Structure 1
């Protein structure tokens, strides 16, 4: 694809710094409350305008992406087509770097990037109701990925709060190359329709959090999907232990439904050293040092 003619969007990893499961609705969807941040690392999506809607995929994790026909990029584009009628489309090309079924919203971020590119191509405003509806129809995590900046998301993902000002977090993302499908994790959680999950409510979030306040908040929160994911993929416990044993790791927690785990460090140099140490010890794992914002 000629780079000079294509529209380009980043599709960064989505990291659930917190994830409280409040219960399960009568319609089967789980009610969540989560503080979400985005990494400086992710996939890249290009759109060459003109012609029929299509998608090609390459990149280090392209082989994990599955059948192109079911890719969330195409699902999101079709959802917007259904709502806008005549819509200029074209050929998408996805460079896949994020692991799949990993709890960091790779497919959802790709879908949101597709919607942003189509909005740019067709002069659709970022807050257009059709764009928001297409995001919601494409997946629970797609709405929060439309504008990938730190936010609180709640409900079944359809409620997205305002942008939050977080201090940059030096992080190491680690995935042991084990896919953990989200439906399986929620099934292992074992909530029936109408049931609630015991636990403290998510603390309130200020519009801007200083480092000390953010650390206090993170230490008082959790990821309620970590325990069921550990039962499905015990290797997650090994990842958590490996991160927690590294010098300077202040917090290690699973993101989303797993199996990706993040470790937070005070400085970039500590995160880089941790990333290097893990790569030497676990060469088969996917490991990425990055900033979360």
Structure 2
């Protein structure tokens, strides 16, 4: 979903990403990891907006803006990559409304960079396809191409070899995100992975494959943030379609058939633990 607002301003949602499963298969010499994952996306996220500008510039506001750089940011890296690729000489003033926690395993900077590419592609009238933008996004980070597409897909390699997945069994489901507001370093979590290959994704159908799957980064994340065990147990007690930690953490998610079930689960989490961040959205 994208939207236009008054004047020359346009905006784009940086859709929150969740990993329905994340199997880490091996470490690669370049510092990345070979993995298999299922990407899925909510209809909620940070919001990027743009106005004409003399140069490429970024401002940031929102509940999670504190500490973010307005000069060294993936948003600007994405904007510069697109401008260079399309030989754009004029600028753009970008604004990031940071609504999602930082370093939380739900896309973050990757989703923001992806939204920047989609937004400027439209703003500059470039008419590049999403596949073109995803290819351009590869140097920006492992998750950025998937976030450009923002559709349910199976990722392999370092997460950039993408195949669409039929997602009728989750599309439109209510999704609850729960984060303890403890940022975790993706690099630290991957470094703490025990190196054991526990096998490939299996199963027929999306939910079956996700349920039979796992998140191999959950154990090292729980060691760093022990309360994740309690959060996941509370979510499981609500009998969701699926509950798991996303990415390298520390956000956990649960999928429900109805928004009412998601709201109840969110209330139970907040009653059990003070200071949790929660968000309810719908699966795209």
Normalised to the residue count of structure 2, the TM-score between the two structures is 0.90
Q: 2:245 is matched with which residue?
A: 254
- The counterpart of 2:181, out of the listed 177, 181, 195, is 177
SS of 2:84's equivalent in the other structure is helix
Relative to structure 1, the CA distance from residue 198 to residue 10 in structure 2 (aligned partners, 3 Å threshold; closer, same or farther) is: same
For residues 42-85 of structure 1, give each alpha carbon's deviation from its aligned partner in whole angstroms, at most 9, with x where no partner exists.
11110112311111111111125x22222210111122233333
For 2:21, which of 11, 15, 18 is the aligned residue?
A: 18
Aligned match of 2:114: 112
Residue of 89, 92, 104 corresponding to 1:90 = 92
* Structure 1 gap segments, 5+ residues each: 192-196, 206-212
Farther off after superposition, 234-243 or 256-265: 234-243
* Cα distance in 2, alignment partners of residues 158 and 221 from structure 1: 19
**Aligned-partner Cα distance in 1 for 2:185–2:95:** 25
The question of 1:53 aligning with 2:44 is answered no
Of residues 268, 274, 280, the one that matches 1:277 is 268
- TM-score (normalizing by structure 1): 0.87
Q: Any stretches of 5+ residues in structure 2 without a counterpart?
A: none
Cα distance in structure 2, aligned partners of 1:251 and 1:132: 28
Which residue of the partner structure matches residue 38 of structure 1?
A: 41
Q: Distance in 1 between matches of 2:202 and 2:41?
A: 20
Q: Given that residues 55 and 68 in structure 1 are in contact (C-alpha distance below 8 angstroms), is that contact kept between their aligned partners in structure 2?
A: yes
State the 1:95 CA deviation: 0.8
Q: 2:65 aligns with which of 62, 66, 81?
A: 62
Q: Distance in 1 between matches of 2:253 and 2:262?
A: 11
Partner of 1:187: 191
Higher mean displacement: 251-260 or 234-243 = 234-243
Match of 2:208 in 1: 216
Output the CA distance in 2 between the equivalents of 1:41 and 1:86: 30
List structure 1 runs of 4+ shifted beyond 4 angstroms.
Answer: none
